[in-house]
Chain A
Amino acid sequence: MRMKFSATTEQRWLNLLKVMVIVVALFVSVGPLIYGFLLSIRPLSSVLNTPLDVIPSLDEVDFGSYPTALRDESDGGFGMARFMRNSFGVAAATVVLAIGSSVLGAYAAVRLQFFGRRAVNAMFLAVYLFPGIVLAVPLFVMMSRIGLTGSLFGLMLIYMAQTVPVALYMLRNYFAAVPESVEEAAMIDGCGRMKTITKIVIPMALPGIAATSLYVFMIAWNEYLFALLFLVQDRERWTAALGISQLTEFSVPATVLMAGSIAITVPVVVGFFAAQRLLISGLTSGAEKG
């Protein structure tokens, strides 16, 4: 640092403080996840008898909790693999629905002047901030009335409506980064609006669209409240998040619960870190102006 020649006591204290903040932040952020993983590979008896020996000895390591958690109930397991398949299906369908409709909406919000644009933007902001639990009341009533209780389809529509605002917001930022001059050139060359979008804008913003898709996927994958409301009575269709939370109600061994928790975490953590840079720029680009 350029302050080298005036290294004061103040700076030394601040550096110490900085190191402490980093160490504590790392310990607190990653610690629980590592703890969960370490529990998942220990035998249950050792977890119950010696809770302080967090790090298992090598001969003690036992990955047996994973197959137990993942296998179907008919196979003596807890069905987590099936729950994860359900979650994957719902989340993938949500991505298709939400991104498919948001791409057009976000483009219009960035490039086109149209009547009601401000009102539409305000509506999406309102949805973004509106308490989901309040909507749970009528949606639950509606589902129980038209008999969609237990239906993954209703869940997808709700997830779509819940993720569209944030998808629009992120996509808008990525589209705004596509230079307008490129688009104008394409239109002068005779491309219509739709063709400009499919041939120029979407390819140029593709990494951003991918990142947004991933974020929507994560939201749908992690969602708990609506899955609980609609699917709780239908064990076949439980999502991964619902499955784990329901299993804690039964006397499922802690090691199996940890294995299940780690199993549902791995896909989102891997996905997030793969697309980290893009995701972060999309999520925070409003903040820079603030």
Chain B
Amino acid sequence: MTVSPGRVARRRGGVMTQSRREDLQGRAMVSPTVLVVFAMVMLPFLAVVAFGFLNIRLVDIPRVSLFDLEFTLDNFRTVLSSPSFWTALRITVIYAALTTLGAIAAGMAMALALRHPFRGRGLIRALVLVPYVLPVVAAATIWKTLLNSQYGLVNAFGMKFLGWDAPIGFLSTTTREFAGIPVPVSLFTVIAFEVWKTAPLAFLFITARMQVIPGDLEEAASIDGASIVQRFRYIVLPQLRGVVVLLVLLRFIWSFQSFNDIYLLTGGAGGTQVMAVRVYDELITRANIGTAAAYGLAMTVILTGLLTMYVRLNRKAGIG
């Protein structure tokens, strides 16, 4: 932009109105970002949709031409009729639901405990953010070492002090009976990891919202004799409703697509093969682009459904 648009407008004697100018400037300013996102996100997405309806494998890619492509529903038929899809879906939903709940509960507990100022609070607030900041690969490597069956601290501790007769394979055990109850050990381990890693974000969001709750209501209630629990239940909690709903949505969407954490910890072993890991397996291990895309599209449809539901609910509640 060599000529300032303001001057152009004046020279033309106000032909270009203020709003017209803003319109052009605004569009020019967002265009670089829109362009990149279009090329690296929108186009690839269209490609996934196309791949989902094509019968191609990775080895065909160098030879395939646009003209001999045939559209088919085979991929969806294969995927939807395979039991492993439904298993993956079930595991993913359990994983996403429990990590969402766990992260919000832990974040809420920390936010409440650190609500009122005391000496050293700033430092503690900073330290509880460590899991969120750690590179996921470093965190997973440390956890894998902690849980290692030969030299990991957890198994060594359990065998010495908790009376375990053998080390527990935290990252490779589908189910194991504890006191007669079958427990999905590895699934719970990856859930614990994700809760550990994401609770700090919930803590930050809830803390930010708590800070703007007006103090006078609580003060009035406490003068009227409301107990701390009552004040939390009837004054603080309703104020946090919006942020908690937002966190439920965001965390569920992100956990539902979680790949890194699970792949790094278990590689999908021990009953932790979630949808995202399935997509990766179909793509890399089986080199089947079509079924990988079909898995991916199934994920997208489910997440879009959730998002639409959220927007509808918001509209109904008159917030959005």
Contact = CB atoms under 8 A, between A and B. Distances in A.
Given A22-B113, A35-B153, A137-B293, A194 B4 contact: yes
A222 B284 CA distance: 22
A53 to B, nearest CB: 10
B33 A287 contact: no
Interface string B1-39: 100111100000000000100111111011011101101
A88 B283 CA distance: 29
B47 A192 contact: no
Nearest to A154: B40
Given A47-B151, A134-B299, A276 B26 contact: no
Interface residues of A, number: 109
B205 A261 contact: no
B41 interface: yes
A138 B51 contact: yes
A193 B5 contact: yes
Interface in A125-156: 127, 129-142, 144-145
A74 B160 CA distance: 42
B134 interface: yes
B259 interface: yes
Interface in A103-142: 104-105, 107-109, 112-117, 120, 123-124, 127, 129-142
Given A11-B228, A161-B40, A225-B260, A136 B283 contact: yes
Given A131-B276, A134-B300, A21 B113 contact: yes
A81 to B, nearest CB: 16
B297 A273 contact: no
Contacts of A145: 61-62
Interface in A249-290: 254, 257-258, 260-262, 264-265, 268-269, 272-273, 276, 280-281, 283-290
A162 B152 CA distance: 36
Contacts of A17: 113
A116 B27 contact: yes
Contacts of A54: 153
Contacts of B133: 218, 268-269, 272
B217 interface: no
A164 B40 CA distance: 11
Given A129-B307, A193-B6, A218-B133, A115 B257 contact: no
A133 B257 contact: yes
Contact of B61 (A52, A144, A276, A286): A144
Given A21-B110, A105-B30, A224 B260 contact: yes
A261 B61 contact: no
B128 interface: yes
B44 A138 contact: yes
Contacts of B25: 108, 112, 114, 193
A10 interface: yes
B297 to A, nearest CB: 7
Contact of B209 (A240, A257, A290): A290
A133 B279 contact: yes
Nearest to B207: A284
Contacts of B160: 52
Interface stretch (A26-34, A177-185, A203-211): A26-34
Q: For A17, A54, A138, A222, which residue has the most chain B Cβ atoms within 10 angstroms?
A: A138
B33 A102 contact: yes
Contacts of B39: 157, 161
A131 B137 CA distance: 19
Given A54-B153, A140-B283, A141-B61, A245 B142 contact: no
A257 B148 CA distance: 13
B57 to A, nearest CB: 11
Contacts of B24: 114
A241 B140 CA distance: 11
Interface string B213-226: 00000010010000
Contacts of A35: 142, 145-146, 153
Contacts of B134: 33, 265, 268-269
B5 A192 contact: yes
Interface string B297-313: 10110010001000000
B204 interface: yes
A187 B5 CA distance: 12
B76 to A, nearest CB: 15
20 contacts: A10-B228, A10-B229, A29-B200, A32-B142, A52-B153, A105-B33, A117-B26, A134-B48, A135-B48, A140-B283, A240-B135, A241-B137, A260-B141, A261-B137, A264-B137, A268-B133, A272-B129, A280-B204, A284-B205, A288-B211
Q: Which 6 pairs between the two chains have the least Cβ-Cβ distance?
A: A114-B26, A192-B4, A161-B40, A131-B257, A138-B47, A134-B296
Interface of B: 1, 4-7, 19, 22-27, 29-30, 32-34, 36-37, 39-45, 47-48, 51, 58, 61-62, 106, 109-110, 112-114, 116, 124, 126-131, 133-146, 148, 150-153, 155-157, 160, 196, 200-201, 204-209, 211-212, 219, 222, 227-229, 242-243, 245-246, 250, 253-254, 256-257, 259-260, 264, 276, 279-280, 283-284, 289, 292-293, 296-297, 299-300, 303, 307
